[in-house]
Structure formats: structure tokens, C-alpha cells
Structure 1
Amino acid sequence: MKKILILLTAIFISTASFSQTKKEGVHIYNPEANAMADLKAATEKAAKANKHVLVQVGGNWCTWCIAFHNLVDSTPVLKQAINDNYEYVLVNWDKDHHNDEAMKYLGFPNRFGYPVFVVLDGKGKVLHIENSAYLETDEVGTDGKKKVGHDVKKTISFLKGWTVAAVNPDTYKAK
């Protein structure tokens, strides 16, 4: 009986600790946000500023989503590329908030996993859906294993490839 009581106490303490850790984690996505309203507002701002909209779909539960967000925050060239060319919107997807209307509007990008990126033009048209697996690093660590994370050069290339100028046919006319 004493062993069972000790085991139950240990389980209770570890469960309580895990719950606290989860609540104190990083929260970059707002599960209660109105995704469609956020997309509409970003599209309107993008149209006025001659930019596109970059949508990052993911959730606070997604370590890769948080890692990407942290990479952008800690890499000035990425942050600048986004700020100069896009209105940036985070759309939450989690087990309790599927944002079905937004997922349909965006072309069900979640089929590629998380995070997933969607580029919209200033009218709200989906121009591109980017599977973030294509942006992962190919670097190998000293242990011989592939490093975990996204590659800055691949991400910059993706961002540059979907700017307003990049998709404007006039950009490529001979002068």
C-alpha cells in the first residue's frame, strides 16, 4: 500500500509539473483570434502598402513553429525581408481550434504539416503554399546527425521568390 501511495504521489507531482510547464510555455499564436478577420485586415494593409501577406499556420504546441518564429526574431535579415515585403499573420491550428473557414480559404495548407506558409496577394488570392520541410537545414552537426531547424538562405530565397516584384511580369520585361 505504501508503494502504491508513493507511486501515485510521484505521478501526481510529475503531472502537475508538466501542466505548469505547458502553461508557462511560449505563446505566439492566439487560439481565440478570428483568423478570417486577421487575414482580411492583413490583406487590406498589404494592398495599401504594395506588399503580399505571409501567413504562418501552426500552433503553440508545435516546436517547429516556435523555432521558426524564434529564428525570424533572432535573424535581422529574415525579419527585414518579411517586414519590407509582407504583412505577417499567424493563424492558429490546434486540436480545439481548427479554424476551418480559414483553412478552406487558404487552400487547406495544413495538409503539409506545421508550420506551413501561405502567400496571399493584396486581393487575398492564394499565390503559393510552402511546405516548411523544404526550408529545413541540411547542416550536419559534429555528432554526424542532421541539425534541427530551418535554413536562413532557403528561407530568404522563398521570401524573395514571392514578393510583389518577383511575381510581377513587368519586372522581367526588357528595358
Structure 2
Amino acid sequence: MKKLFTILAAILISTAAFSQTKTGGVHIYNPEANAMADLKAATEKAAKANKHVLVQVGGNWCTWCIAFHNLVDTTAVLKQTINDNYEFVLVNWDKDHHNDEAMKFLGFPNRFGYPVFVVLDGKGKVLHIENSAYLETDEIGANGKKKVGHDVKKTISFLKGWTVAAVNPETYKAKAK
């Protein structure tokens, strides 16, 4: 009987701790946002500023999504690259908010997992969908295991590869001497 009480107490404590973590977590995504309105506004703004739109699809439940967001916030070169070249939009996806219309508009990027990145031009055309797994670090930690997180150099390379200038054929024409 004492053993059963101990097991039940452990389950109750762990359940309470889990539910507190869930409600007290980071909230970078707005589940109630109108994703299509946000995408339209960002596209219009991007067109006026000669930028593209960078969409990060994920949710507050996604530790990798939050880690990427934090990496951008704490890495000046990443933040600057995004600010200089993109209008940045977060599109929420969770078990209660699938944003089906936005997912269809974006080409169902969620097939690659989360976070997933979509680059749109100033007209709203999907130029590229990036599986964030390709941006993960290859660094090995002191414990001999692969570090968890995204690589700054890989991310900058991805971002620079999809700027307005990078996809403009005029950028690559030979200059007259």
C-alpha cells in the first residue's frame, strides 16, 4: 500500500509540474493571430521596401522554434540580416490552431516539421521552403555528443541566398567596362 501511495504521489507531482511548465512557457507565437492577414500585411510591406518575407512556422510548444527565435534575438548578425532583407512573420501551428488557409497558401511547409521557414516575394509567391534540419549545427559538445541548435553560418547562408538581390537575374549580368 505504501508503494502504491508513493507511485501515485510521484505521478501527481510530475503531472502538476508538467502543467505548470506548459502554461508558464515562452510565448513568441500568437495562436489567435490571423495568419493570412499577417502574411498579406508583411507581403505588402516587403513589396514597398524591396524585401522578401521570411515566415517562421511553428508554435509555443516547439522547443526548436523557441531556440531559433532566441538565437536570432541574441545574434546581431542574424538579426541584422533578417531586418535588412526581410519582413519577418511568425505563423502559429498547434493542435488547436492549424491555420489551414495559411498552410495551403505557403505550400504546406509543415510537412518538414517545425520550425520551418518559407520565403515569399513581394507578391506573395512562395520562393523557397527551408527544412530547418538543414540549418542545425554540426558542432560536438564537451560531452562528445552533437550540440543541439541551429548553426549561425548555415542560417546566414540560407538567408542571403534568398534575398531580393540574390534571386534577381540582373545581379549576375556582367558589368560593362
Does the TM-score normalized on the shorter chain lie above 0.5? yes
SS in 1 for 2:38: helix
- Give deviations 1:93-118, integer Å, cap 9, x for gaps: 11111111100000000011100000
Amino acid at match of 1:109: P
Question: Partners in 2 of 1:8 and 1:22 — Cα distance?
Answer: 21
Change (3 A) 1:14 1:105: same
Amino acid at match of 1:141: G
Question: Partners in 1 of 2:10 and 2:128 — Cα distance?
Answer: 49
Give the structure-2-normalised TM-score. 0.94
Give the structure-1-normalised TM-score. 0.95
Identity %: 90
- Which stretch has the larger CA shift, 74-83 or 21-30? 21-30
**What is the Cα deviation at residue 37 of structure 1?**
0.5
**Counterpart position of 1:38:** 38
Amino acid at match of 2:77: V
Question: Partners in 1 of 2:129 and 2:174 — Cα distance?
Answer: 29
SS in 2 for 1:65: helix
Question: Partners in 2 of 1:128 and 1:13 — Cα distance?
Answer: 45
**What is the Cα deviation at residue 22 of structure 1?**
1.1
**What is the Cα deviation at residue 28 of structure 1?**
0.5
SS in 1 for 2:149: coil
- Give deviations 1:9-31, integer Å, cap 9, x for gaps: 44333322221111111110111
Question: Partners in 1 of 2:48 and 2:99 — Cα distance?
Answer: 26
Amino acid at match of 1:58: G
**Counterpart position of 2:163:** 163
Q: Structure 1 stretches of 5 or more lacking a match? A: none
**Counterpart position of 2:20:** 20
4+ residue runs over 3 A deviation: 1-10
Computed over aligned residues only, the root mean square deviation of the Cα atoms, in angstroms, reads 1.2
- Give deviations 1:136-162, integer Å, cap 9, x for gaps: 011111222111110000000000000
